[in-house]
């Protein structure tokens, strides 16, 4: 039965330049009676950037182990503010597939270091969602063990080799074959991986250990953006494959590590991934100042972001100038844009200004 007091909710269109905010819907009654009381709620639906993607009803994933559609995390530690989210892409929601991206945040209290990792399971590998989950956790744990041992410079070769070994061991366990090869494991569990460690209050300006894909293109000299009067954090980052680390300063996105993939390339075609590849294409050590934001993401965000000068870049630069609410951060990542339907994962880190 339809109640005569049934409410009609008028949904407002979300413009590209809308800020994330709590809105009040316009509520009307279909007949007489006292005015309806407005109830504050978040705007429904994703933010739209440019041409929107098709609207669908998402199907639950039947993946085992359980994989939630969306994860969101965040908080403060060691003078840093972190936000993290991973969202299932439009295509996976449509077919009921699992989210193949994953992330991990880990604290190392003795050195006051925040360790972050993101991974993007290769689409063609049937268990790559598990591979991504194993890779980020193993990588973060290995960084912590190195710091426990007094390491100052992270041995990235060991980080990625240990993550690859975790994938191989899982594949051998699953197929009950102690002699299964790395190639066999790659067919089932392949994933990209990007890792960063941010240590509070350590000035790291000076020598950069850069790969060929480093975005700045300089000769490893002093960072021209460094302000000696600002307290900087020490950032170390490396990646295998096309998961990316950027530094956002103002409206400029500087690519640090990770392989660039153009939007017209076939998904998964020729991508370097664990466990087959364990040598990072690039690694970098640099300062992270209070005017910077570290962004570590999978290619589901890196592709629409491109060089940061388009609509997606302008939106992120505006919304990430200061840390958003954790839930708003996840909603920001889950924007709707035509042709971009992959999983997206992003970890953002803000050094807090002194005072």
Q: Is the pLDDT of residue 270 over 90?
A: no
Q: Which pLDDT value is given to residue 340?
A: 96
The mean pLDDT of 107-120, rounded to a whole number, is 98
The mean pLDDT of 133-153, rounded to a whole number, is 98
Q: Is the pLDDT of residue 343 over 90?
A: yes
Q: What does the pLDDT look like over 10-42, one tens digit per residue?
A: 333 334 444 444 444 444 444 555 555 554 455
CB-CB neighbours of 151 under 10 Å: 13
For the chain, the C-alpha Rg in angstroms (whole number) is 22
Buried b (16+ CB within 10 A) or exposed e, 25-59: beeeeeeeeeeeeeeeeebeebbbbbeebeeeeee
CA 33 to chain centre: 49
Q: Which pLDDT value is given to residue 280?
A: 94
What global pTM score does this model have?
A: 0.82
Token pair belonging to 353: 């200004």
Q: Which pLDDT value is given to residue 14?
A: 38
- Residues pairing with 82 in the sheet: 75, 349
Q: What does the pLDDT look like over 41-53, one tens digit per residue?
A: 556 678 899 999 9
Q: Which pLDDT value is given to residue 173?
A: 97
Q: Which pLDDT value is given to residue 334?
A: 97
Residue 302 and residue 70: Cα distance in Å, rounded?
A: 18
Q: Which pLDDT value is given to residue 281?
A: 81
3-state secondary structure the chain: CCCCCCEEEECCCCCCCCCCCEECCEEEECCCCCCCCCCCEECCCCCECCCCCCCCCCCCCCCCCCCCCEEEEEEEECCEEEEEEEECCHHHHHHCCCCCEEEEEEEEHHHCEEEEEEEEECCCCCCHHHHHHHHHHHHHHHHHHHHHCCCCCCCHHHHHHHHHHHHHHHHHHHHCCCCCCHHHHHHHHCEEEEEEEEECCCCCCCCCCCCCCCCCCCCCCCCCCCCCCCCCEEEEEEEECCCEEEEEECCEEEEEECCCCCCCCCCCCCCCCECCCCCCCEEEEEEECCCEEEEEECHHHHHHHCCCCCHHHHHHHHHCCCCCCHHHHHHHHCCECCCCCCCEEEEEEEECCCC
CB-CB neighbours of 22 under 10 Å: 10
Q: Is the pLDDT of residue 200 over 60?
A: yes
Residue 58 and residue 192: Cα distance in Å, rounded?
A: 26
Q: What does the pLDDT look like over 301-322, one tens digit per residue?
A: 999 999 999 999 999 999 999 9
Cα–Cα nearest to 187, from 126, 120, 101, 130: 126
Tokens 């003078």 correspond to what residue? 79
Q: Which domains does the chain have, with CATH numbers?
A: 70-219+228-351 (3.60.40.10)
CB-CB neighbours of 68 under 10 Å: 13
Token pair belonging to 70: 């969306």
Q: Is the pLDDT of residue 148 over 70?
A: yes
Name the percent of the chain lying above pLDDT 90.
72
Q: Is the model more confident about 182 or about 215?
A: 182
The mean pLDDT of 226-232, rounded to a whole number, is 59
The per-residue pLDDT of the chain, averaged, comes to 84
Q: Is the model more confident about 26 or about 131?
A: 131
Q: Is the pLDDT of residue 174 over 60?
A: yes
């Amino acid at each position: 039965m339809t109640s005569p007091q049934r409410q009609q909710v008028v949904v407002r269109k979300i413009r590209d330049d809308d800020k994330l905010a709590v809105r009040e819907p316009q509520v009307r009654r279909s007949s007489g009676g006292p005015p309806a009381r407005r109830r504050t709620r978040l705007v429904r639906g994703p933010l739209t950037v440019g041409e929107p993607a098709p609207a669908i009803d998402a199907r639950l994933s039947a993946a085992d182990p359980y994989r939630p559609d969306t994860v969101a995390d965040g908080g403060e530690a060691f003078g840093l503010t972190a936000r993290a989210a991973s969202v299932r892409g439009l295509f996976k929601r449509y077919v009921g597939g699992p989210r193949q991206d994953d992330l991990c945040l880990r604290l190392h209290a003795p050195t006051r270091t925040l360790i972050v990792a993101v991974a993007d399971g290769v689409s063609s590998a049937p268990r790559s969602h598990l591979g991504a989950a194993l890779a980020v956790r193993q990588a973060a744990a290995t960084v912590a063990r190195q710091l426990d041992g007094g390491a100052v410079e992270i041995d990235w070769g060991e980080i990625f080799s240990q993550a690859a070994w975790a994938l191989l061991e899982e594949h051998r366990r699953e197929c009950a074959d102690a002699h299964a090869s790395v190639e066999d494991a790659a067919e089932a569990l392949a994933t990209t991986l990007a890792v960063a460690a941010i240590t509070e209050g350590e000035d790291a300006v000076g020598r950069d250990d850069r790969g060929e894909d480093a975005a700045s293109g300089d000769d490893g000299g002093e960072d021209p953006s460094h302000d000696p009067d600002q307290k900087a954090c020490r950032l170390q980052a490396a990646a295998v494959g096309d998961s990316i680390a950027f530094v956002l300063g103002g409206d400029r996105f500087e690519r640090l590590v990770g392989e660039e993939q153009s939007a017209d390339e076939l998904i998964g075609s020729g991508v370097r991934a664990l466990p087959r590849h364990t040598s990072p294409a690039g690694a970098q050590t640099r300062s992270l100042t209070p005017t910077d934001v570290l962004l570590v993401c999978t290619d589901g965000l890196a592709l629409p972001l491109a060089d940061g000068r388009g609509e997606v870049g302008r939106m992120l630069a505006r919304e990430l100038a200061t840390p958003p609410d954790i839930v708003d951060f996840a909603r920001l990542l889950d924007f709707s844009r035509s042709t971009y339907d992959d999983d997206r994962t992003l970890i953002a880190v803000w050094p807090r200004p002194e005072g």
